Amino acid sequence: MKKLLLTLVGAGALLGAMTATAGPEEDRKAMIQYFKGKFPNVKFEDYVHGALALDADAKAQYDSIMEFPPYVEVIDKGKKMWETPFKNGKKYADCFPNGGKNVAAMYPMFDDKKGQVVIFEDALNDCRVANGEEAYKIDDAKTMGILLSYARGLSDGAKANVKVNGPAALAAYEDGKKTFYARAGQLNFSCANCHQLSAGVRLRSELLSPALGHTTHWPVFRGGDNLVTLQVRYKGCHNSVRHVPDAPGSTRYKNLEYFESYMSNGLPMQASVFRK
């Protein structure tokens, strides 16, 4: 009972700090302090590993698998897609600063001209369309997913650096924050219920992952070569709580990724990793 009360007090302190009047940076610092209190032995940079940061045995198994990942062929396909010229002769690298290296660490970003959050998938599709190609479906694992597996990997090691500048960007951030804390579905759960308040709690055979670092490592390969992107995972989470989900790439899910990505600023990117 005492442990439960302390948990609730800690969660209450975070929710109190992350009010509507607090800015994004105040929110981020409050999130870090919350998890520092909840898991004092976990280093900040280790949150990139999700729930693995809370389980030494599982992390050791993960490290072993990552020595020879079972999905290297998928990433190789993504590399081939990245390097294959469009019909006009240009490549994806021509669309991004530094040839795309370390670029994913800055996404999502708010595009003032579009008046909305742009996730990295959008940027890749904008590149395709600008070069006379058709856009990929955001949730198509065999096209966009494979491309992401390589393209996001070009930013491995770069620290997440998402910006929230201006009133329109702040409104999108706040909308994502609202989604993170709003209860939904027949189970009446929010993202925060599982990944903040109950982070580290075992659900069936798995530990619930902390929200800190959530956005740094996508796409993931579950159980081998089953590729899952973050936007598709958001849909899956809503299905799990029996809530009618949005389509991946919806405004709500983009804004949620915007909020969560800002919370993970300062953490190193590590795309295309193994998860159960």
pLDDT of residue 215: 97
Contacting residues for 6 by C-beta, under 8 A, at least 6 apart: none
Half-sphere exposure of 156 (CA within 13 A, CB side): 13
* pLDDT tens-digit map of 195-226: 999 999 998 788 999 999 999 999 999 987 79
Q: Give dist(CA 237, CA 264) in Å, integer.
A: 19
How many Cβ atoms from other residues are within 10 Å of residue 146's Cβ? 23
pLDDT of residue 21: 65
Long-range contacts of 54-59 (CB under 8 A, 24+ apart): 54/199, 54/200, 54/207, 54/210, 55/207, 58/207
Q: Please report the DSSP string for 7-28 in residue order.
A: HHHHHHHHHHHS-TTS-HHHHH
**What is the CATH topology of the domain spanning 72-109+119-155?**
Cytochrome Bc1 Complex; Chain D, domain 2 (1.10.760)
pLDDT of residue 19: 56
Contacting residues for 20 by C-beta, under 8 A, at least 6 apart: 174
- In a 10 Å sphere around its CB, with 0-12 CB exposed, 13-18 middle and 19+ buried, how is residue 65 labelled? middle
Domain with CATH 1.10.760.10 in the chain: 2-68+163-275, 72-109+119-155
Q: Considering the candidates 95, 127, 194, 237, report the single residue annotated as catalytic.
A: 237
The CATH number of the domain covering residues in 2-68+163-275: 1.10.760.10
Q: Give dist(CA 268, CA 126) in Å, integer.
A: 26
**179-188 burial, b for 16+ CB within 10 Å, e for fewer?**
bbeeebbeee
Phi/psi at 274 (5° precision): -85, 135
Long-range contacts of 239-246 (CB under 8 A, 24+ apart): 240/187, 241/184, 241/185, 241/186, 241/187, 241/188, 241/189, 242/185, 242/186, 242/187, 243/184, 243/185, 243/186, 243/187
pLDDT of residue 121: 98
pLDDT of residue 224: 74
Which ranges of the chain have pLDDT less than 70? 1-21
- Please name every residue paired with 118 in a beta bridge, in sequence order, or none if there are none: 109
194 is catalytic: no
